[in-house]
A and B are shown apart, each in its own frame.
Chain A
């Protein structure tokens, strides 16, 4: 049957065509906050993908028995528990990175992306497609985080994963680090540029204007 290509499509759609960050502008708070270096961006991306996939699987497995009235609370409790477990695991085995991520792992709970996928997709689909969709969205989010994280670390510190790429002027090289890249506004600029670039390349992603200004009938005074 057409089941296999469907799954493949579910997986690949959120990478570019339906990217949760650049198309739906979901989950950008964390995308801005943790991308000061590639290592933290990677850890955050992996954590979010794991939480998202597991949450989608669990919620999809019990989807027939979630009472409509308390469905958001049930979903958030499941997501929050998974997030705490991931946070504990990071603190135990990746203490260094866990400190750099500080509160942002905990904030995966409130990441619109996670609740958005469980609410919009996992609640209506069987566990396997739900998890594939969640994993794809996790990868889409990861892709944006990795691109922004790599750019910020490269131009902010002249390093990638802590390894010097551009020799710094302070230690005899030629590159003067752009400190702005390490501050939150630069993440906005980069994300904005990324959204612009993707939407110029694929104009079908451009949102329709919310309202059209009325045509002027008489000249302004």
Chain B
């Protein structure tokens, strides 16, 4: 090594490829550069992605409301906006200390989540937030529509949706799926307007108050059912469980009772 290169990097490159030092260093350099590239892209593009998602959720909510007969006109009448409310699920009342702006921060705190018993956890989430942002539409003083975000484990991942209920808190006014990863062509049809069209008018409970809602196997046969999706039994069942969980006592049950008592 009479002509040792003064540049240590060149010296490194001159090492035989199979030497241990070079193997470790090449591995380290490749990972470091790749990590920097990936983190850079993620951090720089995050604001755009967040804005996209927010705009999309807003557009879906708007489309959902406009899809319900008579609601488009009502929405225009009230100035084109829905009132937003952060709900404390347990009490079924508006949360006093949390606003829609502070909700994302509050949900970062695990103290604001309730673990679900394996028996009660029919949606497979393991836990549910104590607060949820819901949307209300009033016709004068009467509550005419509520939009409830719901979620549950589907076949390939979590399904997020928004369920719209009419003022009686029993008739479905519509459903919008905001996020899913179901099988394209099969379970992913929950995203299609054609399937969602079978939801409006469906009644959750019968006269005696028993929860009867279900996604049927095949075409709906009663007022409590919506059409099933052929070839997507697991996704259909997941949707059934999702609705049943979220209108039940661990979900929006206390809130729906409060509305029926006329507290909203």
Q: Give the interface of A toward B (CB within 8 A).
A: 33, 36, 62, 64-70, 73-74, 77-78, 80-82, 84-85, 88-89, 91-93, 95, 100, 102-103, 182-184
Given A65-B26, A70-B27, verify A92-B52 contact (CB < 8 Å). Answer: yes
Chosen A-B contacts, 8 in total, with CB atoms closer than 8 Å, are: A62-B26, A65-B17, A67-B22, A73-B27, A82-B37, A85-B41, A88-B41, A183-B185
Q: Within 8 Å CB of A184, what residues of B?
A: 185
- The B interface, classified by DSSP as helix, strand, loop or mixed, is helix
Near A by CB (< 8 A), chain B positions 144-200 give 181, 184-186
Q: Within 8 Å CB of B53, what residues of A?
A: 95
Q: Within 8 Å CB of A68, what residues of B?
A: 17-18
Residue of A nearest to B19 (CB): A67
Residue of B nearest to A100 (CB): B184
Q: Give the interface of B toward A (CB within 8 A).
A: 13, 17-18, 22-23, 26-27, 30-31, 34-35, 37-38, 41-42, 45, 48-49, 52-53, 56, 181, 184-186, 231
Question: Is A67 touching B18 in the complex (CB atoms < 8 A)?
Answer: yes
CA distance A73 to B42 in the complex (A): 22
Q: Within 8 Å CB of A77, what residues of B?
A: 30-31, 34
Q: Within 8 Å CB of B48, what residues of A?
A: 92-93
Question: Is A66 touching B26 in the complex (CB atoms < 8 A)?
Answer: yes
A89 interface neighbour in B22, B41, B181, B231, Cβ under 8 Å:
B41
Given A36-B184, A69-B23, A81-B34, verify A92-B45 contact (CB < 8 Å). Answer: yes
Residue of B nearest to A180 (CB): B185
Task: Known pairs A82-B37, A84-B41; list 12 more (Cβ under 8 Å).
Answer: A65-B13, A66-B17, A66-B26, A68-B18, A73-B27, A74-B26, A85-B37, A91-B49, A95-B49, A95-B56, A102-B184, A182-B184
Q: Within 8 Å CB of B231, what residues of A?
A: 183
**Shortest distance from the beta carbon of A169 to any chain B beta carbon, whole Å:** 14
Q: B26, B181, B184, B231: which has the most chain A beta carbons within 10 Å?
A: B184
Q: Within 8 Å CB of A66, what residues of B?
A: 17, 26
**Shortest distance from the beta carbon of B28 to any chain A beta carbon, whole Å:** 11
Question: Is A103 touching B181 in the complex (CB atoms < 8 A)?
Answer: yes
Q: Within 8 Å CB of B27, what residues of A?
A: 70, 73-74
